[in-house]
């Protein structure tokens, strides 16, 4: 089993109402898991948000907490509801309605990685799936909410920046002819998970650092954005998807020659975002 459910990097002083999170960058692949998959150690990482934790680990410098997953996405997906169980993978689970994520093999315990490649030869037990949820999914979400509650108590509001990466080809159908291809997609579930003021501030920070930004297409936010975005209660959640090709070789899953430059640009972005709400009244709900 992976060694830990999560790791939290705390600032010396909590100056920010923003919590940064990376639920898909875990890369602790235990041998007991790898020996039960049909994929090799490289292919199993294809749906991982590789190095996203390294891109945002500067958050504590600017007074914000940062939580990152310990378990890899192929083992348990923290950006899914704990009841999104896949009957095609897990023994004893009955189909309950149509959930497109589960149907495609991307439930809380994934059946496939990128490009629909199967992880297992057959099924796993419900006991095994529940063990992963109890030991990794639940502790991560308990800590995430604890961090948000603490931020809200200190500052009167909390903002969760849920950090992810996307394959370069994800924007093939979105990029318009004659326009620069978007580097970043912000997802606020079309205004449901955060106020326009919060999303505008986040977008402005990325744009100022030279990134091309679009919103909600093709990624509007998944479980975390839906579950934690409560702007009427002063808890805002925005999902961030960054084009992997900017900072890594997607085939080799290695940082590319621009990694440090992108990391430096994101330090500027994180610095700006961490200042949301500082020295002001709590952000108004819409």
Q: Is 85 left (phi over 0), alpha (psi -120 to 50) or beta?
A: beta
Chain segment 35-48, per-residue pLDDT in tens: 999 999 999 999 99
- Between 284 and 63, the more confident residue is 63
Chain segment 98-111, per-residue pLDDT in tens: 889 999 999 999 99
Chain segment 199-250, per-residue pLDDT in tens: 999 999 999 999 999 999 999 999 999 999 999 999 999 999 999 999 999 9
Residue 88 predicted with pLDDT over 60? yes
Q: What is the DSSP string of 6-31?
A: EEEE--SS---SEEEEETT------H
Q: Which two tokens stand for residue 13?
A: 């002083």
Confirm whether 119 is domain-assigned.
no
Average pLDDT over residues 258-282: 88
Q: What is the DSSP letter of 248?
A: E
Q: Which two tokens stand for residue 42?
A: 């490289």
Confidence of residue 278 (pLDDT cuts 50, 70, 90): confident
Residue 131 predicted with pLDDT over 90? yes
Residue 84 predicted with pLDDT over 90? yes
The pTM (predicted TM-score) of the whole model is 0.94
**H-type helices in 38-99, by residue range?**
52-56
Confirm whether 97 is domain-assigned.
no
What pLDDT does 280 receive? 52
Which has the closest alpha carbon to 48: 39, 57, 58? 39
What span, in angstroms and rounded, lies between the C-alpha atoms of 62 and 20?
A: 11
Confirm whether 284 is domain-assigned.
no
What is the number of structural domains in the chain?
1
Residue 260 predicted with pLDDT over 70? yes
Residue 279 predicted with pLDDT over 80? no
Instruction: Please give the residue range of the domain that contains residue 27.
Output: 6-75+139-273
What pLDDT does 162 receive? 98
Confirm whether 193 is domain-assigned.
yes
For strands 184-187 and 254-255, give the pairing.
unpaired
Sign of CA dihedral 285, 55, 174, 23: negative
What pLDDT does 271 receive? 98
Residue 285 predicted with pLDDT over 60? no
Chain segment 166-185, per-residue pLDDT in tens: 999 988 877 676 678 899 99
What pLDDT does 54 receive? 98
Confirm whether 102 is domain-assigned.
no
CATH number at residue 153: 3.40.630.40
Confirm whether 80 is domain-assigned.
no
What pLDDT does 283 receive? 52
What pLDDT does 95 receive? 82
Angle at 142 between CA 78 and CA 80, to 5 degrees: 20
Confirm whether 285 is domain-assigned.
no
The number of beta carbons lying within 10 Å of the beta carbon of residue 77 is 26
What span, in angstroms and rounded, lies between the C-alpha atoms of 193 and 83?
A: 21
99 burial class (0-12, 13-18, 19+ CB within 10 angstroms)? middle
What pLDDT does 200 receive? 97
Confirm whether 151 is domain-assigned.
yes
């Amino acid at each position: 089993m992976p060694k830990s459910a999560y790791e939290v990097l705390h600032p010396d002083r909590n100056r920010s109402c923003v919590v940064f999170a990376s639920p898909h960058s875990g890369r602790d692949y235990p041998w007991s898991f790898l020996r039960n998959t049909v994929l090799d150690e490289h292919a199993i990482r294809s749906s991982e948000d590789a190095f996203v934790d390294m891109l945002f680990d500067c958050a504590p410098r600017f007074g914000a907490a940062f939580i990152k997953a310990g378990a890899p996405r192929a083992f348990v997906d923290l950006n899914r509801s704990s009841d999104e169980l896949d009957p095609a993978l897990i023994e004893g689970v009955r189909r309950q309605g149509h959930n497109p994520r589960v149907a495609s093999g991307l439930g809380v315990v994934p059946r496939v990685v990128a490009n629909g490649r199967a992880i297992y030869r057959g099924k796993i037990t419900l006991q095994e799936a529940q063990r992963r949820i109890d030991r990794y999914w639940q502790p991560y979400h308990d800590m995430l909410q604890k961090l948000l509650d603490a931020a809200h108590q200190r500052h009167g509001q909390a903002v969760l920046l849920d950090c992810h990466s996307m394959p370069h080809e994800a924007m093939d159908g979105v990029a318009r002819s004659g326009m620069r291809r978007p580097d970043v997609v912000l997802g606020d579930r079309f205004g449901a998970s955060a106020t326009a003021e919060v999303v505008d501030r986040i977008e402005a920070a990325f744009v100022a650092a030279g990134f091309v930004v679009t919103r909600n297409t093709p990624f509007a936010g998944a479980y975390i954005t839906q579950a934690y975005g409560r702007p009427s209660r002063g808890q805002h959640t925005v999902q961030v998807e960054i084009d992997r090709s900017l900072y890594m070789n997607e085939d080799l899953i290695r940082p590319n020659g621009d990694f440090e430059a992108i990391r430096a640009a994101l330090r500027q972005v994180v610095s700006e975002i961490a200042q949301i709400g500082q020295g002001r009244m709590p952000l108004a709900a819409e």
